[in-house]
Structure 1
Amino acid sequence: MAPVGSAVPPFTAHAISVSLPTWRDTVGYEEGEKRVVDAMETGYPRFFIHLSIQKLARICEQKFGVNGERCMLFSTQKIAEQCRSFMTDRPSPVAVRLVQFVICPEDNPQNGVNGTISTEEQGCGCSNSPTPIKLSCVDLHIVLFPAEAFPIAKQFWQHAGMGISSRLAERCLALLPEDSRSTSPTPPTPPLFSKPANRHYSKKSVHTKSPSLSSPPRSPVPSSPSFSSKLDESLSTDQSTYLEERYGRNLPLTAAASAKRALRRRIAGTLVHDDDPQKQKSAGATDAELGPSSRGVKDVTEDDVYLYPTGMSAIWASHQLAMAVRPSAKSVCFGFPYTDTLKILEKWGPGCHFLGHGLDSDIDTLSDLLATTSQAHPGSPPILALFTEFPSNPLLRSANMPRLRALADKYNFLIVVDETIGNFINVEVLPFADVVVSSLTKVFSGDSNVMGGSLILNPKSSHYPALKSHLSSNYDDFYFEEDAIYMERNSRDFKRRIAVIDENAQAVCAFLRSRSIAGGATSPSTAIKEVYYPKYSTPENYEQCRVRASAEGGQEGGYGGLFSLTFLSHAASTAFFDALPFHKGPSLGTSFTLACPYTVLAHYGELEWAKSWGVEEGLVRISVGCENRDVLVRGFESSLEKAEEAIVSGSG
């Protein structure tokens, strides 16, 4: 089992997850316990700022900051301006400065004194455009603000998901002269990890939620090497070469455009031979064999797919898109979502109605809301858009998509579906949606070493012309080239992996449910209360969208690799989790099994609020991987025995 704070997967410089092997470790992370915080080599990128990004930020702060200013780093001016707007649009506006820093190789004659700089002061509305640069240069946009405003800036980083990637940070560090990479320590900004109040924070409030919304430790970072350098020191030459070849780091950057084209084609479902080893290299080529989309809407093409640096930035962009093309109105969040989706709908625009159970009874409530609002404001759509996950995270409930689509058509609002958990190999949600978003970071990649997101438009939607026109004029592709190359390589076998994961998860869930109260178990030692899994949670709604085997031999959709467990006592929850012989940390969809005490990890500052929507504090979420099925079941069986022992002993 990986030690606390280490990368998951191990020895991975840009790992997406971090090892929190015990329940106590997760609580320690949330409370900023020194034992855990000091061990953190990495973390989920939107919550824990990668050490390479921290190092680059310290350099920028010392180069451009005044009076102890802190900063956030972005890859485009537009994103930097959006961050500034988020910080200034508050009851007590924050003073924000923008600096453009063009970093070029030392041998580039345009480099000057290490980079070209232009600044735009808040409220000035002016900017000095730098001299045109070569492709080898990096255009970095720096948002500077008073140190005490860091938690506000961190909210934008976390919710919008548009900060620079760790690979881009390392590119910048590599371009900087050696003598400019060393920085002097600066005092930390207190409080670093304060235990948050146990409440749900509302739109545009300033609420510090330990490490996810507070500043990371500052003093050790400037003088410490990046995680990549630690990795290089710990690996032999042969191991390093293996990692380079396994994860494709030796692929040329000139392949980035082709890699992105291949990604869009995979997501559109138009590649005819993508799973043919002889054809993989041509997936992004102009002569690749394309056919009708397998997404349930045949007119979908790669031109309807838009790439983003993270799944959350795709969700944020879909909300921005809806606000840009539709009349202003509140949105609806249908079902209990991943935490940042709700925060986006609350903190940008007019707000949202939250129907957190996501059951058919909530559709009845929604129908009444729509009718009442329409009567009060005739001629205007009663809501902007409805956002839902299919299925939801972590309760794995599926919305009744035909009913929602009928309401959307009647009342003229958008439907945005996050298909990350179901994935389009298993479910067809595009026919019911106007926009479908997904976190490519998860099962589409599988290797947990790169972030990515996608947004796809339904060309059959009545809103398609307006949505397409706006994106055609306003979409910026700022998905970093190296990240795209990794994502393309990782995703080549995603169909095969999903089939294995689906079968593994079904076997594990069948075993666990047979030993649960929900499955009819009556033993005095029974520890599991409920198994949340699409096959058992609102199955009739899931089946309406599950992919059916085609006459051409297409595979039938499964139920995904994610499930959650609740237990009859807190002691049983912790005993089960601590005994799991698998990786433990944030994220999901990995090729290896990954577990976390989800409610503690995602809602530690609002446990009672989460409980009110049926998300219990003791819930354990598991993402099943591609391991041997018998080994998986035995591992869960041994962990369950520990939970059942806790029930028998009456501990907790």
Structure 2
Amino acid sequence: MSTLYRQPGLGVPVPPSVAHAISVSLPTWRDNVGYMEGEKRVMDAMASGYPRFVVHFSVRKLARICEQKFGTQGEQCLLFPTQKTADHCRAFLVDQSSQSGSPVQARLVRYLIHPKDERELASDDAGCRTAPSQSRFAEVHIVLFPADIFPLARLCWQHTGMGISSRYAEHCLSLMPEYIKPSSHLQLTSSTEDLSGGKIDYLMNQRCDNLAVDSAAVAKSALRCRIASMVVRNNPVNFPVHEQTVVTEDDVFLFPTGMYAVWTAYELVVTTRPAAHTICFGFPYTDTHKILQKWGPGCHFFGHGLDTDIDELENILEQEQLKYPSRPPALALFTEFPSNPLLRSADLPRLRALADKYNFPIIIDETIGNFVNVSVLPYADIIVSSMSKIFSGSANVTGGSLTFNPAGRHYQQLKTRLTSLYEDVYFDEDVICMELNSRDLEKRTSVIDVNTEAVCDFLRSHSIAGGMSSSVIKDILYPKWITRDKYDHCRVKQRKRDVGEEGRDGGFGGLFSITFTTAAASATFFDTLSCYKGPSLGTNFTLACPYTILAHYSELEWAAKYGVEETLVRISVGMEDKEALLRCMEAALKAAQVTSTSL
């Protein structure tokens, strides 16, 4: 038997039965292609999805109410937590539609929902009404636009991560007299069998909904302190400079999504520094690259992220400096450590040297490596992270963080600017859930690191890169073998944490990708996998997806130029029994081999 779980059907939330699940079951290769092509069979089955890509049903319900109240015929809307975030969406719509030659107008409405006297107050761009004096009300900022440009509006929702969360939408709905809370909000657990016959119980996110909202301030402080502590505590011993670098709670800022943190980092450098191109180093998660492309003055893209790219970057910087000697030749450099999905690690010391020479900041996304395994603080001016991933692990809440390096030369300028711009829009129930989920991050990371290395060792031993003369697997992309020296330089080294407690070396993380010799082998391997299959990563359970299909379906040839093959399968390993995981992978490999020999 090689089944880890009872496989959920197409479109079912992952984890199943969780009202605020942030993944969705796409169990076959054909389902994933159908989703990207908008196939009716697939779209009709989608009860859930990753929140930035598929608008949660509670958010959709609130949006339909807003359209009925404030829209005109043929208008649709998206919902945002503040006027500033709504303004960004409207500006995006106007700018992008103007570039295409068909400029459109978008309207903003501020909607106050008050539960006591059932008054619902709204104001448009021309003015603002005063909210009732009672303390409990909800505020939503509505961006209304012609329905035919909804695909464009959804890109803003996806790229920036600024939209309201599903829990906030349900809070708004709960204040409306006609709203009946769904039965899924009961205190429940969902269970799935593992290979040993035991149960893996996922406590529903509703444990958070019942906590006092007053706990949110405490939870936010705890999260900021937790991140600040890990950023410094886990510095490798070969960086003595950090004995003097103190990251405090005040250096950490929280956001409702990881992309909102990335977008804010970009907004910071755009609004504080002279206009210049940004640098995207390495092949990043798709929306990071889209932000750098679609906002601001342009982007130099170095998709391979190798030493030869640094040579080219250095030449560009030199030429730009000669051309424009009065300003820095770059706005900022963005990179991931390691990258998603190629798992390549950049030469951060060399990039830092260039940043210091040419006076631009470096923003590093450490989501894949995570705070437990790697320390990138010595090379970053800003660290961004998606807390929705391994930091949470439970896949029932989103979040993001932005951390300043106090030793960075741009620290005062950037932090002062963010302090003036920052809006705390992380909803209370979401942040409480995130704080609870993240308490055991280090223990979970340790288990996942061990499981992932065992799985990767097994698969690589059956790959061409691992020495097989013939195999359906070309290579396993994993920091243990991909740019290993660069990864090791920032890998946390063993040290004692507290008296009587042994530390551990940072692992290689919980994410890897597989490349195959044929498309048929890739699809068969994926279809045979008995783990959950859907978007996202860093979950406490194993989660696989055909990454390039989901992230780059409209630009497959472009992605392939940088080594991101159409048939690449990305797997995020979880905390299941190690032997069960190995049997799961072995069964998928055998099926792929049979497919290959039958061709």
TM value normalised by structure 1: 0.85
Distance in 1 separating the partners of 2:188 and 2:131: 41
Q: Within 5 A, what are the aligned runs for 1:383-394?
A: 383-394=330-341
Given residue 96 of structure 1, which amino acid in structure 2 is its aligned partner? A
- Are the aligned partners of 2:188 and 2:203 in contact in 1 as well (CA < 8 Å)? no
The equivalent residue for 2:151 is 151
After superposition, the CA RMSD in angstroms is 2.1
Which of 598, 605, 623 is matched with 2:554 structurally? 605
Which SS does the other structure have where 2:557 is aligned?
helix
Which SS does the other structure have where 1:248 is aligned?
helix
Matched, 1:424 2:371: yes
The equivalent residue for 2:120 is 115
Distance in 1 separating the partners of 2:189 and 2:512: 38
Hey, which bits of structure 1, 4+ residues long, moved more than 6 A? 233-239
Given residue 259 of structure 1, which amino acid in structure 2 is its aligned partner? A
> How far is the alpha carbon of 1:268 from its aligned partner?
0.8
Which SS does the other structure have where 2:60 is aligned?
helix
> How far is the alpha carbon of 1:550 from its aligned partner?
1.6
Classify 1:170/1:380 alpha carbon distance in 2 versus 1 (closer, same or farther; 3 Å).
Answer: same
The equivalent residue for 2:213 is 253
> How far is the alpha carbon of 1:343 from its aligned partner?
0.5
Classify 1:235/1:404 alpha carbon distance in 2 versus 1 (closer, same or farther; 3 Å).
Answer: closer
For structure 1, the residue ranges without an aligned partner over 5 or more in a row are 121-125, 182-224, 272-291
Which SS does the other structure have where 2:373 is aligned?
coil
> How far is the alpha carbon of 1:530 from its aligned partner?
0.7
- Are the aligned partners of 2:187 and 2:206 in contact in 1 as well (CA < 8 Å)? no
Which SS does the other structure have where 1:148 is aligned?
helix
> How far is the alpha carbon of 1:551 from its aligned partner?
4.3
The equivalent residue for 1:203 is none
Distance in 2 separating the partners of 1:495 and 1:2: 29
Distance in 2 separating the partners of 1:245 and 1:399: 37
Given residue 543 of structure 1, which amino acid in structure 2 is its aligned partner? D
Given residue 335 of structure 2, which amino acid in structure 1 is its aligned partner? T
Which SS does the other structure have where 1:424 is aligned?
helix
Given residue 264 of structure 1, which amino acid in structure 2 is its aligned partner? R
Given residue 118 of structure 1, which amino acid in structure 2 is its aligned partner? S
Matched, 1:6 2:16: no
> How far is the alpha carbon of 1:295 from its aligned partner?
4.8
Which 10-residue stretch deviates more, 230-239 or 34-43? 230-239
The equivalent residue for 1:169 is 169
Distance in 1 separating the partners of 2:190 and 2:443: 31
Given residue 22 of structure 1, which amino acid in structure 2 is its aligned partner? T
Given residue 563 of structure 1, which amino acid in structure 2 is its aligned partner? F
Q: Within 5 A, what are the aligned runs for 1:52-63?
A: 52-63=58-69
Classify 1:583/1:48 alpha carbon distance in 2 versus 1 (closer, same or farther; 3 Å).
Answer: same
For structure 2, the residue ranges without an aligned partner over 5 or more in a row are 1-6, 193-200, 237-241
Distance in 2 separating the partners of 1:235 and 1:255: 22
Q: Within 5 A, what are the aligned runs for 1:264-413?
A: 264-269=224-229, 293-295=233-235, 297=242, 298-413=245-360
Which of 387, 397, 409 is matched with 1:440 structurally? 387
Given residue 578 of structure 1, which amino acid in structure 2 is its aligned partner? D
The equivalent residue for 2:160 is 160
Distance in 1 separating the partners of 2:214 and 2:80: 23
The equivalent residue for 1:517 is 464
The equivalent residue for 1:630 is 579
Distance in 2 separating the partners of 1:35 and 1:250: 37
- Are the aligned partners of 2:16 and 2:190 in contact in 1 as well (CA < 8 Å)? no
- Are the aligned partners of 1:398 and 1:534 in contact in 2 as well (CA < 8 Å)? yes
Classify 1:547/1:235 alpha carbon distance in 2 versus 1 (closer, same or farther; 3 Å).
Answer: closer
TM value normalised by structure 2: 0.92
Which SS does the other structure have where 1:32 is aligned?
coil
Classify 1:606/1:270 alpha carbon distance in 2 versus 1 (closer, same or farther; 3 Å).
Answer: closer
> How far is the alpha carbon of 1:237 from its aligned partner?
12
Distance in 1 separating the partners of 2:568 and 2:204: 37
Distance in 1 separating the partners of 2:42 and 2:578: 33
The equivalent residue for 1:185 is none
Classify 1:428/1:368 alpha carbon distance in 2 versus 1 (closer, same or farther; 3 Å).
Answer: same
The equivalent residue for 1:213 is none
The equivalent residue for 1:96 is 106
Distance in 2 separating the partners of 1:516 and 1:631: 21
Distance in 1 separating the partners of 2:187 and 2:13: 13
> How far is the alpha carbon of 1:82 from its aligned partner?
1.0
Output one character per residue of 1:30-77: Cα deviation in whole Å (capped at 9) or x when no partner: 111111111111000000001111111010001000132111100101
Q: Within 5 A, what are the aligned runs for 1:437-516?
A: 437-516=384-463
Distance in 1 separating the partners of 2:55 and 2:549: 20
> How far is the alpha carbon of 1:93 from its aligned partner?
2.7
> How far is the alpha carbon of 1:230 from its aligned partner?
6.7
Which SS does the other structure have where 1:437 is aligned?
strand
Output one character per residue of 1:434-475: Cα deviation in whole Å (capped at 9) or x when no partner: 011000000000000000000000000000010111111111
- Are the aligned partners of 1:293 and 1:299 in contact in 2 as well (CA < 8 Å)? no
> How far is the alpha carbon of 1:521 from its aligned partner?
0.9
Output one character per residue of 1:227-256: Cα deviation in whole Å (capped at 9) or x when no partner: x837469979999x9945884332211100
Classify 1:236/1:571 alpha carbon distance in 2 versus 1 (closer, same or farther; 3 Å).
Answer: closer
Which 10-residue stretch deviates more, 10-19 or 549-558? 549-558
Which SS does the other structure have where 1:141 is aligned?
strand
Report the identity percentage.
57
- Are the aligned partners of 1:337 and 1:389 in contact in 2 as well (CA < 8 Å)? yes
- Are the aligned partners of 1:293 and 1:301 in contact in 2 as well (CA < 8 Å)? no
Q: Within 5 A, what are the aligned runs for 1:222-233?
A: 229=182, 231=184
- Are the aligned partners of 1:268 and 1:301 in contact in 2 as well (CA < 8 Å)? yes
> How far is the alpha carbon of 1:374 from its aligned partner?
0.5
Distance in 2 separating the partners of 1:314 and 1:441: 12
Which SS does the other structure have where 2:54 is aligned?
coil
Distance in 2 separating the partners of 1:77 and 1:572: 49
The equivalent residue for 2:512 is 563
Classify 1:645/1:75 alpha carbon distance in 2 versus 1 (closer, same or farther; 3 Å).
Answer: same
> How far is the alpha carbon of 1:555 from its aligned partner?
2.2
Given residue 487 of structure 1, which amino acid in structure 2 is its aligned partner? M
> How far is the alpha carbon of 1:270 from its aligned partner?
6.1
Output one character per residue of 1:340-369: Cα deviation in whole Å (capped at 9) or x when no partner: 011000010001011000001100000000
Classify 1:270/1:648 alpha carbon distance in 2 versus 1 (closer, same or farther; 3 Å).
Answer: closer
Given residue 95 of structure 1, which amino acid in structure 2 is its aligned partner? Q
Distance in 1 separating the partners of 2:133 and 2:93: 30
> How far is the alpha carbon of 1:19 from its aligned partner?
0.2
> How far is the alpha carbon of 1:647 from its aligned partner?
1.7
Given residue 397 of structure 1, which amino acid in structure 2 is its aligned partner? R
Which SS does the other structure have where 2:362 is aligned?
strand
The equivalent residue for 1:140 is 140
- Are the aligned partners of 1:117 and 1:130 in contact in 2 as well (CA < 8 Å)? no
- Are the aligned partners of 1:335 and 1:356 in contact in 2 as well (CA < 8 Å)? yes
Output one character per residue of 1:303-355: Cα deviation in whole Å (capped at 9) or x when no partner: 10000110011100000011111111110111111110110000100010110
Given residue 75 of structure 1, which amino acid in structure 2 is its aligned partner? P
> How far is the alpha carbon of 1:379 from its aligned partner?
2.1
Which of 481, 495, 498 is matched with 1:550 structurally? 495
